[in-house]
Amino acid sequence: MPPRLRLCTQCLHRLHNKRTSLPKYLSTASAITPAPPIHQTISSPPPLARFPPTQPPSHKPPEFRKSQLHRQYTSLLRSTPLLLLFQHNNLKATEWMSIRRELHSALQKTDETLSTDLAPGIKVQAIQAGIFESALLVTEYYHPSQQLNPTASTPHPTDPSIQSSATVANTTPNPADPTLTHSLSTHAHTLVAPHKKSHPLRTLLSGPLAILSFPTVSPQHMRAALSILSPKAPTFAAPTRRANPGYHDASVQAGLQKLLLLGARVEGRVFDTEGTRWVGGIEGGLDGLRGQLVQMLGSVGAGVTGALESVGRTLWVTVEGRRGMLEEEGRGKAGDGKEDS
């Protein structure tokens, strides 16, 4: 049968040429449509979260200053092993400024002698006691990695009990969602609540407070800071007027009189003022402490070997003495025998 659509020979030729010139991949595209992987047919991927991963829903509205301070304090507490607590009684801005200046210069001097670079990381800041307490509890008692951490739910695609309109965890911005484990979550808040009254630092956290935070435990830097902020001779003697005239400025001295050392938190442990001074007074820093420990252990070892040796030695001495006695007796008897003969 002739073609119904009558085409001129030229057009037919062109059409034919076009068809042959089609690229290969287009002509074969429909042939290798990949089958969905088996795990996708059994379970569907978790639905997309309705909030950015960096801004999970929090227990308190995140735009509040309180929430941001809580975040700031938790991150500070997690990153600083050494923390000094001060009470500040109505310090003026100029006094704060001059105290910070003196502190920074003293710490820089320590840095130069020890050839470290810690001075920029050591800072005094006034804190909000209530929020700091909450942040402290979260950092000490809330460990999301150790607890049961339910992941975002993965509903079965063919499960008839799940309605298509059912809400799935992790999709709605609900702060009570158990999948949220950040320190501002409701989960953290409820887990930490029972510990509220038992923390040893709790009684300190009231009134106007300031903290001095160190990025590492460095007794030398601590000593330099204490000799500026809370001087006490002889270990933490304040710099003399000749050595550091700036320290004896009226603004610095007036400010320091109103600054009161209360305690410290060193690697999770709470110290009072005496304990703080003891930590600051460790000679030679952590290396010095290690040296002392090695020396102590060495002397203990020597003592033990001496004690163990002494038993054998006394036995040897006794036996030797007895042998000498017997030999002398034998010699004496031999001499007697000779005399007799």
Partner 1 sequence: MITKHITEVTTRFNPFKKPSKTCRVFLAHLPANARTMMKINTTVLTRDSQEPSFLKLKFKDGKEMQLDTEKLKINDVVEEVDRHSRTLNRKADLEGN
Residue ranges binding partner 1 (CB under 8 A): 87, 89-92, 200, 203-204, 206-208, 254, 257-258, 260-263, 271-275
Minimum Å distance from CB 281 to partner 1?
A: 15
Which of residues 96 and 142 has its CB atom nearest to partner 1 in the complex? 96
Which of residues 59 and 88 has its CB atom nearest to partner 1 in the complex? 88
With contact defined as beta carbons under 8 Å apart, do 135 and 74 qualify? yes
Which of residues 49 and 129 has its CB atom nearest to partner 1 in the complex? 129
Query: Can you tell me which residue has the tokens 């002739």?
Result: 2
Minimum Å distance from CB 312 to partner 1?
A: 47
Which of residues 217 and 254 has its CB atom nearest to partner 1 in the complex? 254
Minimum Å distance from CB 89 to partner 1?
A: 5
What is d(CA 268, CA 21) in angstroms, rounded to the nearest whole number?
75
Paired with 123 in beta bridges are 213
CB neighbour class for 71 (10 Å; exposed up to 12, middle 13-18, buried from 19): middle
Minimum Å distance from CB 314 to partner 1?
A: 46
What is d(CA 66, CA 128) in angstroms, rounded to the nearest whole number?
9
Closest CA to 211 of 262, 247, 267, 258: 262
Minimum Å distance from CB 209 to partner 1?
A: 10
Minimum Å distance from CB 91 to partner 1?
A: 7
Greatest distance between any 2 Cα atoms in the chain: 162
Which of residues 4 and 197 has its CB atom nearest to partner 1 in the complex? 197
Phi/psi at 125 (5° precision):
-145, 145
Paired with 88 in beta bridges are 259
Which of residues 67 and 253 has its CB atom nearest to partner 1 in the complex? 253
Which of residues 13 and 92 has its CB atom nearest to partner 1 in the complex? 92
Neighbours of 232 (CB within 10 A): 13
Closest CA to 46 of 175, 179, 186: 179
**CA terminus-to-terminus distance, the chain:** 160
Minimum Å distance from CB 90 to partner 1?
A: 4
Contacts for 140 with CB less than 8 Å, ≥ 6 apart? 195, 199, 268
Which of residues 60 and 248 has its CB atom nearest to partner 1 in the complex? 248
Minimum Å distance from CB 77 to partner 1?
A: 19
Which of residues 33 and 90 has its CB atom nearest to partner 1 in the complex? 90
Minimum Å distance from CB 207 to partner 1?
A: 5
What is d(CA 116, CA 207) in angstroms, rounded to the nearest whole number?
35
What is d(CA 149, CA 244) in angstroms, rounded to the nearest whole number?
55
Positive or negative, the Cα torsion across 307, 313, 318, 321?
negative
Using DSSP's 3-state secondary structure scheme, residue 104 falls into: helix
* Tokens describing residue 130: 């209530």
